[in-house]
Amino acid sequence: MQLTNRIHFRNLRGDLFGGVTAAIIALPMALAFGVASGAGAAAGLWGAVLVGFFAALFGGTPTLISEPTGPMTVVMTAVIANLTAANPENGMAMAFTVVMMAGVFQIVFGTLRLGKYVTMMPYTVISGFMSGIGIILVILQIAPFLGQASPKGGVVGTLQAIPELLANVRPAETLLAAVTVAIIWFMPSKFKRIVPPQLVALIVGTVLSLVLFPNIDDIRRIGEIPTGFPAIQMPMFSATEIQVMFVDAAVLGMLGCIDALLTSVIADSLTRTEHDSNKELIGQGLGNLISGLFGGIAGAGATMGTVVNIQSGGRTALSGLTRAGVLLVVILGAANLTATIPLAVLAGIALKVGIDIIDWSFLKRAHEISIKGALIMYGVIALTVLVDLIAAVGIGVFIANILTIDRMSQLQSESVMTIADADDTILLNAEEKRWLDKANGRLLLFKLSGPMIFGVAKAIAREHNAIQSCDAIIFDLSDVPHLGVTASLALENAIAEAAEKGRQVFVVGAAGQTKRRLEKLKVFTLMPPDRLYMDRSEALKHAVATLVPVPSFE
């Protein structure tokens, strides 16, 4: 695997323009997500710079823009809230340690080449999970949208506190938040192509707050962001919280993998290229590791930034590096300009992001496509919002896979059949039909087709138990590309019982993995060694020969 992304200067203008455009979009988003997470605006900005730089340099998707995202911010918010509540003195440092640990998890995933498995989830689960994340992000912005600090208890705490929040609403900040959402939502498309609506909303909201409320203390604002490079955050652990930190890091790392690789797929479709998923995970992991080390929040591949980068001409990792460089200049040279930005404006930006994350398209038609799929999606949404992110994904994937396996087993079970005379159930050639008819029902052809997964074992046992009387059985495995352990044990049981009852047993078409699996189970020792055939006609001919004299068709 190549260590760094291939960078060339043949598309210099496009990459520079794409990087600058992506940086303009990233600035308000990084500020909003930093504040929303509880780590502060500076943590959001440094997360955008460091994750973006190292993921672009070492990742496997040249056009991918990595930065704090809505889903990652939701998890980061919970991590910070839980750890600071448990350990007020060192909780924030422990939260940044979780970001580093998440990066290590991602590096391990990439090194073990697990990239291709990360996004192998049913769409109903992915849709429900992302919609749940969007709903959480919206709920968490209710308090700052109404001009108040977020209550303790996360989503449930916020929902319980809504009556109190409404009773103490601060109209000025709510007005600014509403104006922010309105600008992003209703800004004409022709203007959106020129300047990002998030940046317009940030500037307009800030200017409006200064004009209408010249007394800065009347509105809650970001405050000054420290200039210069951040101090290193040494990893910090707590014996009582180590298990919680480990689980949080695993969730954050896995979510980052899913978020990044799904965005990589979008980038592939726009650029007609193919990303290296394992390399991308390593790049994402390095980005989060360094981000946590310098006090930045976690990030992942950002769909909005990536699409804008590509549409603006970005084609290599140089665009991502340019974006990180522009943001770095802003932090080091113009951080004091962000001090007057109202928190309500950032809440409006984050709230609109949450609304956009919700998969409205699938929500509207899921019940029309599949009732079971819709129920899985709604269940995952409920679990994500009210219970736990990892439980939502785990339970959703488990139920979806069980339903899929059940359906596949039903379909595969139809390809397990037995015939004693030549009919149209199994396609036989003329010679095979003659031999089967000659047996006069004393020979049974036991036909299996397709991959024999564990759910088919029941069908094999059912067909085997239905056998009443015959003198010989041919087990036809010609069309079996894969034989699972459970199915092979069911087949072994059928062959063993047939041999015990004195029936002649023949096996046709066992090859490759199917043959190796049966050899390891020593199935072929249950029958004479000359009863293995690759040609069904030959097997039928010799099977009939054990029953009656070989007929002559001359």
Given this model, what pLDDT does residue 553 score? 45
Q: Which residue bears the tokens 């640990």? A: 101
- Record the tokens describing residue 171, joined without a space: 């109209």
Query: What was the pLDDT predicted at 411?
Result: 73
- Kindly report the length of the chain: 554
Which residues have CB under 8 Å from 457's CB, separation 6+?
484, 486, 487, 489, 490
Q: Sort residue 295 into left (φ over 0), alpha (ψ -120 to 50) or beta.
A: left
Rounded distance between C-alpha atoms, residue 142 and residue 161, angstroms: 10
Per-residue pLDDT at 548: 59
Residues 6+ positions from 449 with CB-CB distance below 8 Å: 415, 416, 479, 480
**What distance in Å separates the CA atoms of residue 108 and residue 144, rounded to the nearest whole number?**
37
Q: Which residue has the higher pLDDT, 277 or 452?
A: 277
Q: Read off the pLDDT of residues 206-242 as tens digits, 9 standing for 90 and up.
A: 999 999 887 766 788 888 888 778 889 999 988 888 9
Distance CA 70, CA 63 (A): 20
Predicted local distance difference test score (pLDDT) of residue 550: 46
Amino acid 356 reads D
Q: Could you identify the residue written with the tokens 């700052």? A: 144
Please tell me the least confidently modeled range out of 121-130, 181-190, 450-459: 450-459
Which tokens is 160 given?
Answer: 């319980």
pLDDT digits (tens, 9 = 90+) for 102-125: 999 999 999 999 988 877 788 898
Work out the percent of the chain whose per-residue pLDDT is above 70: 95
Amino acid of residue 248: D
- In the chain the domains, ranked by start, together with CATH numbers, are 12-358 (no CATH), 417-545 (3.30.750.24)
Mean pLDDT score, 381-409: 85
What average pLDDT does range 234-253 have in this prediction? 91
| Whether this model's pTM surpasses 0.85 | no
For 533-552, the DSSP string reads: ES-HHHHHHHHHHTTSPPP-
pLDDT at 554 over 50: no
d(CA 81, CA 103): 20
Q: E strands, 232-299, where?
A: none
Q: Token match 């997964």: residue? A: 453
Between these two residues, 346 and 192, which has the higher pLDDT value? 346
Lowest mean pLDDT among 58-62, 138-142, 323-327, 498-502: 498-502
Lowest mean pLDDT among 72-76, 166-170, 453-457: 453-457
Q: How confident is residue 54, by pLDDT bands cut at 50, 70 and 90?
A: very high
User: What's the pLDDT score for residue 469?
Assistant: 77
Asked if 476 and 448 count as a contact pair (C-beta separation under 8 A), the reply is yes
pLDDT at 464 exceeding the cut of 80: no
What's the CA gap between 369 and 504, in Å, rounded?
Answer: 49
For residues 13 and 415, the model is more confident at 13
Highest-confidence range of 119-123, 282-286, 337-341, 351-355, by mean pLDDT?
Answer: 282-286
Nearest to 135 by CA among 74, 177, 179, 76: 74
Evaluated on CA atoms 403, 407, 410, 416, the torsion sign reads negative
* Distances from the Cα of 283 to the Cα of 59, 62, 65, 363, angstroms: 4, 11, 12, 33
* pLDDT confidence bin for 552, thresholds 50/70/90: very low
Q: How confident is the model at residue 4 (pLDDT cuts 50, 70, 90)?
A: low
| pLDDT over 50 at 14, yes or no | yes
Cα–Cα dist 471/420, whole Å: 11
3 state DSSP class of 265: helix
